Amino acid sequence: MGDRRFIDFQFQDLNSSLRPRLGNATANNTCIVDDSFKYNLNGAVYSVVFILGLITNSASLFVFCFRMKMRSETAIFITNLALSDLLFVCTLPFKIFYNFNRHWPFGDTLCKISGTAFLTNIYGSMLFLTCISVDRFLAIVYPFRSRTIRTRRNSAIVCAGVWILVLSGGISASLFSTTNVNNATTTCFEGFSKRVWKTYLSKITIFIEVVGFIIPLILNVSCSSVVLKTLRKPATLSQIGTNKKKVLKMITVHMAVFVVCFVPYNSGWGCSMVFPEPTYGVLTQGGAGSGTELGSNQRRERVGGHPPSWQGHST
């Protein structure tokens, strides 16, 4: 009987000690997640992308601009794709420094340029890949009727339109202050307040996702499906004068690049819009230059419906 009273007393004492903590957690409705691993991961990935991207895209531009005598419509799209990637690669040293040091000392202007370059690259790449897919669709499904449309002049006009579109979206997302200072540590494109997100960023994000991802995804899948269906007809290959295996390989590589490089990132954005979390986690422990713990006021301001940062991987 004495043992039972002792156990009951200990159990009640444990409940009384836990109850205030649970109450505070429920009242604050805050779930702190340590996501500091993403900075070292991003820094490592960006380092590899910088080396490979600088070499491959520079070589591609050299070949397409100085070695090719006849530039086809597809070559024009690929040249612009490589140029978009190279511009992004040139901003990666700043991102590498930021992710490894978790501090942005370069000012708000360079943060805007870095963020604009990231958005321009990832959505510009998707749109240029879509242009290549549509061009292949016209060349195979409508080889004769598309001759007046598939010209180098029209390809250049389309590329100019893509640049205007992606630069407009990227710059509009960088018009406000993109840096935030907390505990002597400056962040870039992170820690946006609830007010900035609801009144400004959410609308831009929806527009960018629809125009830059959903529509290109539909066009790429639709064009590739119709091309594959057309290639089943024996008369098609004789009309277009190309090898079926070569076309199938190009379509496979094209869709693999689109799915692997862009679908995971944009799906994450979509899920965060449809299934918002109560709050988003922040870095815990550490001082300036090695990590930061955002203040309680900002932690309450960070709301579901937007990712904690616009840091991400790109091609």
Q: Residue 154's pLDDT is what?
A: 93
| Length of the chain, in residues | 315
Cα dist from 117 to 98, 173, 207, 291, whole Å: 15, 11, 18, 25
Query: ∠ at Cα 104 (189, 108), nearest 5°?
Result: 60
Block mean pLDDT (10 aa), the chain, length 315: 46 44 47 71 91 92 82 88 90 91 89 87 91 91 86 93 90 77 81 72 81 91 89 66 76 86 73 48 31 33 40 46
pLDDT of residue 290: 32
Domains of the chain: 35-301 (1.20.1070.10)
Q: Give this prediction's pTM.
A: 0.72
Q: What is the pLDDT at residue 155? A: 93
Q: Backbone phi, then psi, for 181, in 5-degree steps?
A: -110, 125
- What φ, ψ does residue 185 adopt, rounded to 5°? -115, 130
**Distance in angstroms (rounded) separating the CA atoms of residues 110 and 116:** 10
Angle, vertex CA 309, rays to CA 216 and CA 131, nearest 5 = 15
